[in-house]
């Protein structure tokens, strides 16, 4: 069927969508009984769907993306001005916004110095893996090729990104995978794997155990989310990050931090890792970099990493042999530069800290009231509530019931998310991550809806 869509007539749009769009992460059978939700407008923290219904978006575009909120005319203007002047040239050449955004970004990342542009979080991570692999070839005869990743972390949807993902349910139908991606244990103390006082240090020691098992001479990189996002909003316990740093230095392993979710203010610092005093070799970012106004991702490295690709000019293949066609689009860095200016001028990092503290306090109260809330965790405007069937045993709440909670929050006009279906016991976390412009009243409205929805569903259990 071929439906001619008239964008001014939303019934046509819905028909066109149902006929021709293959949605992300959706079992399409459901559209036999309900229409796809078409979001037609956004302003600040609020969005409107095709039926005219207004919702508070407490997940920043569904997946932690729209950090500065919807309807930012100054970003649209900056992109438009740039596009009519110069929209694209392949990245072997430079552009004004690419240079200016890189300079601004690096000014917020002491110790880092080079920005490599691409378009998505998955792609930025692939670039980092290719850097680590090429360094293995250049410096270690190809031996130091393994890249460690952590259980529950996610680094994207391409085959190598899935190979380095700690959520097997996302990967299991897409193998076989490339070799050399090795998993280390998760660090969620609420579901502790070790009975020790110093849990953070113990969980990091587990990384060293894997390195020693694999052979340190074979391990070139370690990729970690600063706070695990889709895998359960897992904030590493105290002592974890300093020990990780120590281990990487000891075994000459490049530390790659995936800031795709935590980056650009989400945790109240520019980057998540800056909460923990850690010094990465490579940082990747996407989502909030331009708040979804344009597609852009960055793989940022230290000068030391960059130097490894230019220190042997006699080797004609020694430079980073990679390209991203659309990494040369100027819309991305033009939008990203304006996005950063907004974060600064509106003092949104400070707002994130304050509103984050308010949200956390409300969530702790919700936990105290409702037995089905097992744990509350997060940082800044990036928080989660893990739901359990039994607080003593921590048996997870059935995910269908968690989905009913999410729907009951939605019925109160607030969109929240839940973490990915996953290994038994580690999913079922409600995700709350509004745009960094949220006001105290917005946070109360979000928390009120969550509180009432949990009460409603808990009463039926
Ligand atoms: N890393 C993390 C931590 C993510 O959460 C995601 C996306 N949810 C990605 C990487 C992949 O980003 P993208 O979907 O833009 O490829």
Span 311-366, pLDDT tens digits: 666 777 789 999 999 999 999 999 999 999 999 999 999 999 999 999 999 999 99
Q: Averaged over 125-132, what is the pLDDT?
A: 98
Tell me what the pLDDT averaged over the chain comes to: 94
Shared domain check, 45 and 187: no
Ligand 1 centre from 262 Cα, in Å? Answer: 11
Regarding predicted confidence, which is higher, 427 or 441? 441
Cα 226 to Cα 255, 266, 269, distances in angstroms: 11, 12, 12
On the question of pLDDT at 151 being above 90, the answer is yes
pLDDT at 2: 41
For helices 240-250 and 199-214, the axis angle rounded to 10 degrees is: 20
Shared domain check, 264 and 208: yes
Pocket residue to mutate for ligand 1, from 25, 63, 122, 230, most atoms within 8 A of Cβ: 122
Alpha carbons 194 and 187: distance in angstroms, whole number: 10
Shared domain check, 123 and 109: yes
Last residue of a domain, one of 325, 345, 365: 345
Q: Give, in degrees to the nearest 5, the angle at Cα 155 between 153 and 159.
A: 120
pLDDT at 421: 61
Residue 1 pLDDT grade (very low, low, confident, very high; cuts 50, 70, 90):
very low
40: preceding bond cis by omega (within 30 degrees): no
Q: Are 230 and 154 in contact (CB under 8 A)?
A: yes
Contacts of 350 (CB under 8 A, 6+ apart): 268
On the question of pLDDT at 309 being above 60, the answer is yes
Q: Which atom of ligand 1 lies nearest, measured to the CA of 122?
A: 16
Domain-embedded: residue 151: yes
Alpha carbons 166 and 150: distance in angstroms, whole number: 6
Shared domain check, 353 and 335: no
Domain-embedded: residue 406: yes
Least confident of 1-5, 254-258, 361-365, 366-370: 1-5
Alpha carbons 254 and 271: distance in angstroms, whole number: 18
Domain-embedded: residue 24: no
Ligand 1 centre from 176 Cα, in Å? Answer: 21
Q: What is the CA radius of gyration of the chain?
A: 22
Last residue of a domain, one of 345, 378, 403: 345
Q: Which atom of ligand 1 lies nearest, measured to the CA of 297?
A: 15
Domain-embedded: residue 132: yes
Last residue of a domain, one of 326, 345, 364: 345
Domain-embedded: residue 387: yes
Q: Are 367 and 409 in contact (CB under 8 A)?
A: no
Ligand 1 centre from 422 Cα, in Å? Answer: 17
Ligand 1 centre from 184 Cα, in Å? Answer: 19
How many domains in the chain? 2
pLDDT at 3: 43
Shared domain check, 107 and 55: no
Domain-embedded: residue 28: no
Report the DSSP beta bridge partners of residue 388: 396
pLDDT at 315: 77
Shared domain check, 228 and 241: yes
Q: Which atom of ligand 1 lies nearest, measured to the CA of 287?
A: 15
Ligand 1 centre from 457 Cα, in Å? Answer: 31
Q: Averaged over 246-255, what is the pLDDT?
A: 98
> Which residue's structure tokens are 């893996």?
129
Q: For the chain, give the percent of residues with pLDDT over 70.
A: 96
Q: Which atom of ligand 1 lies nearest, measured to the CA of 123?
A: 16
Ligand 1 centre from 167 Cα, in Å? Answer: 13
Cα 305 to Cα 128, 242, 257, 311, 314, distances in angstroms: 11, 21, 14, 10, 18
- The finding on whether 155 has its CB within 6 A of some atom of ligand 1 is yes
Ligand 1 centre from 343 Cα, in Å? Answer: 21
pLDDT at 258: 98
Strand 383-390 to strand 395-396: parallel, antiparallel, or no bridges (unpaired)? antiparallel
Contacts of 160 (CB under 8 A, 6+ apart): 125, 126, 129, 177, 178, 181
Q: Averaged over 135-158, what is the pLDDT?
A: 96
> Which residue's structure tokens are 């916004």?
97
pTM here is 0.97
- The finding on whether 158 has its CB within 6 A of some atom of ligand 1 is no
What is the domain-level CATH number for residue 419? Answer: 3.90.1150.10
Shared domain check, 214 and 287: yes
Least confident of 158-172, 240-254, 433-447: 158-172
- The finding on whether 290 has its CB within 6 A of some atom of ligand 1 is no
On the question of pLDDT at 15 being above 50, the answer is yes
Q: Which atom of ligand 1 lies nearest, measured to the CA of 286?
A: 15
What range defines the domain where residue 54 resides?
Answer: 37-68+348-458
- The finding on whether 157 has its CB within 6 A of some atom of ligand 1 is yes
Ligand 1 centre from 155 Cα, in Å? Answer: 5
Domain-embedded: residue 187: yes
Q: Averaged over 442-448, what is the pLDDT?
A: 98
Shared domain check, 392 and 306: no
On the question of pLDDT at 212 being above 60, the answer is yes
HSE value, Cβ hemisphere, 13 Å, CA-based, for 19: 11
Shared domain check, 245 and 234: yes
Q: Which atom of ligand 1 lies nearest, measured to the CA of 262?
A: 3
Shared domain check, 337 and 353: no
Q: Averaged over 104-116, what is the pLDDT?
A: 98
- The finding on whether 386 has its CB within 6 A of some atom of ligand 1 is no
Domain-embedded: residue 10: no
Ligand 1 centre from 405 Cα, in Å? Answer: 25
Shared domain check, 51 and 188: no
Shared domain check, 252 and 103: yes
Regarding predicted confidence, which is higher, 26 or 180? 180
Cα 132 to Cα 6, 26, 243, 281, distances in angstroms: 48, 34, 21, 10
């Amino acid at each position: 069927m071929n439906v001619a869509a008239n964008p001014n007539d939303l019934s046509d749009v819905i028909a066109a969508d149902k006929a021709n769009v293959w949605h992300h992460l959706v079992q399409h059978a459901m559209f036999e009984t309900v229409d796809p939700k078409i979001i037609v407008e956004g302003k600040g923290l609020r969005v409107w769907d095709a039926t005219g219904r207004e919702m508070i978006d407490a997940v920043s575009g569904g997946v932690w993306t729209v950090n500065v909120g919807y309807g930012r005319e100054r970003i649209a203007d900056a992109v438009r001005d740039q596009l009519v002047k110069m929209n694209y040239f392949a990245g072997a050449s430079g552009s004004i916004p690419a240079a200016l955004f890189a300079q601004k970004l690096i000014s917020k990342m002491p110790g880092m110095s080079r920005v490599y542009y691409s378009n998505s979080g998955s792609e930025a991570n692939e670039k980092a893996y290719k850097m680590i692999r090429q360094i293995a070839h250049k410096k270690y005869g190809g031996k130091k090729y393994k890249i460690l990743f952590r259980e529950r972390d996610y680094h994207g949807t391409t085959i190598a990104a899935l190979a380095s993902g700690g959520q097997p349910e996302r990967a299991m139908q897409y193998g076989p995978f490339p070799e050399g991606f090795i998993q280390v244990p998760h660090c969620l103390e609420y579901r502790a794997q070790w009975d020790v006082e110093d849990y953070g240090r113990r969980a990091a020691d587990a990384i060293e155990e894997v390195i020693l098992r694999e052979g340190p001479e074979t391990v070139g990189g370690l990729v970690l989310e600063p706070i695990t996002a889709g895998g359960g909003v897992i904030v590493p316990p105290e002592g974890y990050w300093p020990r990780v740093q120590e281990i990487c230095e000891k075994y000459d392993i490049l530390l790659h931090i995936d800031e795709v979710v935590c980056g650009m203010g989400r945790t109240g610092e520019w980057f998540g890792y800056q909460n923990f005093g850690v010094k990465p070799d490579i940082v990747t970012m996407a989502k909030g970099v331009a708040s979804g106004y344009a597609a852009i991702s960055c793989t940022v490295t230290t000068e030391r990493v960059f130097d490894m690709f230019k220190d042997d000019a006699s080797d004609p293949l020694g430079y980073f042999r990679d390209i991203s066609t659309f990494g040369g689009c100027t819309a991305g860095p033009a939008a990203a530069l304006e996005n950063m200016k907004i974060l600064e001028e509106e003092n949104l990092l400070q707002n994130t800290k304050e509103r984050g503290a308010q949200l956390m306090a409300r969530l702790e109260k919700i936990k105290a009231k409702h037995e089905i809330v097992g744990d509350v965790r997060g940082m800044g405007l990036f928080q989660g509530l893990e739901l359990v069937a039994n607080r003593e045993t921590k048996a997870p709440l059935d995910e269908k019931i968690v989905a009913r909670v999410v729907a009951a929050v939605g019925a109160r006009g607030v969109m929240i998310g839940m973490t990915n279906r996953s290994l038994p016991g580690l999913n079922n976390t409600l995700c709350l991550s509004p745009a960094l412009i949220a006001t105290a009243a917005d946070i109360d409205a979000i928390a009120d809806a969550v509180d009432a929805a949990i009460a409603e569903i808990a009463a039926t259990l």
